[in-house]
Amino acid sequence: MLYTSVLRPLFFRLDPEAAHDLALRGASLLARSRLACRAVERVVARPAPRPVTAMGLHFPNPVGLAGGMDKNGVAPLAWWAFGFGFVELGTVTPVGQPGNPAPRMFRYPNDAALVNRMGFNNAGADALAARLAEQTARHLRPPFPVGISIGKNKETPPERAADDFARAASVVQPHADFLTVNVSSPNTPGLRLLQNAAEVGRIVRAVRAVAGGKPVLVKLAPELYGDDLLAALDAALSEGVAGVIATNTLSTATMTGYETGGLSGGPLRALAATRVAQVRDHVGDGPTVIGCGGVAGGPDAQALLDVGADLVQIYTALVYEGPLLPAAITRYLRPRARTVGPSRPRG
C-alpha cells in the first residue's frame, strides 16, 4: 500500500527511464550490504518457500526477475532480498553499446503495460563479468540462481550473429548459473529473423560450445507460432538446449495506440499463457519452461504454472505493484514438488 499510494505516484511524475534508473540505483545501494538484504528478505518481504529443482539448479521459489531490469548486474543480492527465487541479468552484448535514442520507454497505466525500445543498452560482457566477480569476492552473491541473457551487437551482421552470442557467453559464463539466448527482442534490427530453425540451431550450438556446461535456454517471441515455433523448438532441442522462455515482448509495429517498441504487461497475459501451453505440449516433460508475460499477481503466476511452466518471470508488474510483489506471489502459490532434468550443484 505504501508503494501504490505514495511511491508510485512520485515515480510516475518522472520520465519512465529516469524512474527505472532511480529504482535501480536504490536496489544497487541495498545490494552492497548482505546484512541489510537479509533483514529485508526475512522481516519485510517474507517470501514463502516454494522450492523447484530445474536444469540441475535449486530455486527457492519459482518467481524470477526477467531480463531487462538489471542489464549490468548492479543489484543481484537486492532481488533476492525482495523475494525473488532467481534473476536473469542482461541482455548483455559482447561490446557495450548505448542502445536506441531516447525517449525509449513508455507507460500505459490503463493497460498496466510498458513499451520499450531500449535496444540492448548495456556496458558490455567484460564489464558485467568484472562486476559479478567483484560481488563474489565481497560475498555479495545471492543464494539463488543467476542467469545471464546474451545478445548480439546492433552493428553485427546476421551472418556473424552466432559469433557475437558465443563471444558474450564465453566472457560471462563463469559467473552465470544459466545462459539465455535472446533472439526475440523487437528492438534490435534483424534480430527476430534469427528465430528460424537454422539460425537457432547454429547460435545454440555456438553458445553451448563455450558455456562450460552451464544450462542454455532460448527466449522466443510471442509472435512465433505454428510450424515456425515448432521448428525453432526442435532446432534448439536438437542442439541440447536446457529450456525455453516463453515469451519476450510483443512488437507494436502493426498496432495502434502504442509507441513503437516491445509491449509488456497486461496485454501479453493471455498470449503468454497460450505460448507456454504450446511449448510444453511440444517439448514434453524434460526441458524447463519459463513463463513470462503479464504476471501481475499470484493468480497470473499460478495460471502459467498450471499450463506447463516450471518457473515464471516478472518485470512490468514491479512498476505498477512495487518491489515486494514477488514475495507476495510466493505466498499465493500452491506448494508443489517438481524436479526438471538431472540435478547438479550451483555454480
By annotation, the residues acting in catalysis are 185
Residues in the chain, how many? 347
Residues 6+ apart with CB under 8 A from 161: 152, 194, 199, 203
The separation between the first and the last C-alpha atoms of the chain, rounded to the nearest angstrom, is: 37
Structural contact between residues 270 and 293, judged by C-beta atoms closer than 8 angstroms = no
Distance in angstroms (rounded) separating the CA atoms of residues 170 and 149: 12
Chain CA centroid to CA 215, Å: 15
Distance in angstroms (rounded) separating the CA atoms of residues 278 and 257: 29
Closest CA relative to residue 272, chosen from 305, 227, 321: 305
* Residue 342: CB atoms within 10 Å: 9
Distance in angstroms (rounded) separating the CA atoms of residues 69 and 46: 22
Closest CA relative to residue 96, chosen from 123, 131, 125: 123
Distance in angstroms (rounded) separating the CA atoms of residues 306 and 304: 5
SS percent in the chain: helix, strand, coil, step 5: 45, 20, 40
Helix (H, G, I), strand (E, B) or coil at 217: strand
Cell numbers linked to 12: 510516475
Cell numbers linked to 60: 527457492
